[in-house]
Amino acid sequence: MASLADTTAGRHAALVPAAGACFGVVSCLLMGQQARHWVAAAVMALIASVLSLVVHLRDRARRARLGADAPA
């Protein structure tokens, strides 16, 4: 979570929590195939998707601000 709050970190460093969530999905489904495992895996996959989207949008907004602040 700290990598999401760090605005100076690159976008690759901010994707570490999303990679961890993907590892959690695989681990959860390896533990079992019951409904509770699928629900937990779906929640973790949703978190990974949202984290990736937030990082992408934040990086794009930062690049747009830097481009707008550059002298013409």
In the chain, the number of structural domains is: 1
- Predicted local distance difference test score (pLDDT) of residue 70: 54
What pLDDT does residue 52 have? 81
Residue 72 within a domain? no
**Quick check: is 71 in a domain?**
no
24 CA to centre of own chain: 13
| pLDDT averaged per 10 residues, the chain (length 72) | 57 75 91 94 90 82 75 52
pLDDT at 2: 53
Range of the domain at 62: 2-66
User: How far apart are the C-alpha atoms of 65 and 67, rounded to whole Å?
Assistant: 5
Task: Write down the pLDDT at residue 37.
Answer: 94
> Residue 59's pLDDT is what?
80
How much is the pLDDT for 27? 93
Instruction: Note whether 58 and 52 are within 8 A (CB).
Output: no
